[in-house]
Structure 1
């Protein structure tokens, strides 16, 4: 081996080391850093997302049970009597304790909802509000009923909006959706 060959080998070796140090190593460091950032982001925000969506799901079911229970009772109560008055008073006293947690859960989970889920939740909120107003007026004396308000609650529409909202939330909480987040 001659001096030129040795010099050429040293230059090639130094060039490879320089290229590795300047180009390849930063690329791999960038990929590693990006991967660690994604993992940190997922580890940090994923539990919060799951907590908020699960709380919304629980509040949705609780709100549905309350509205459904009173809508079924209101349509079967006779037009007068102490039971009707007691039922109206109970409804007025308990509506806030069921509606506020649902509204709060919707506000907290809104960031994690897609457009479809947001639309289904809003549809359920509107149907529940209509049902609440109907329950309120059904439990008042018939002379106080406003014109144009249906005197019977369409429970099928309310139930359909509830089922659609639950399906949307279930899809956001499903394992397939969770795997998309991790990727």
Structure 2
């Protein structure tokens, strides 16, 4: 029994010795950049460590450059972390409609580079008819709020009247 305990203790000690070193090893070095268009005139980037494919948690100085049809250029633009999650970056609307070759680089110690072709489009907006239909539907059921409010007022007045009647019948 003591041999099993000794082996288990050695195994646990070995695991504990390795665990603190893993994050430093895994989250270091070059990054892989997944670059794509955002469906309109912007670019999104996902930065992950090349070694373990975990998202880059600290801000990395990503720089975007783009070349479009007819010699149009955009950049260099510093990309900021996006609210979409860890390792995500977005440019906002920086590209005009058309085909663009987009290059994104990150500096050392997290060096990385990606180049893709992006088809930028005009951002689509909701048709006004859809907004009007939603407003009409909200107006169609708006009377329910008034009905509910009226019922509450009647109940409150009834409770007050009942309270006064009970007090008048049983004066203290």
- The normalised TM-score by structure 2 is 0.28
Q: If each structure's helix is expressed as a fraction of its own residues, which one has the higher value?
A: 1
Which structure exhibits the higher relative contact order, with contacts defined as CA atoms closer than 8 Å and separated by 6 or more residues?
1
Q: If each structure's strand is expressed as a fraction of its own residues, which one has the higher value?
A: 2
- The normalised TM-score by structure 1 is 0.27
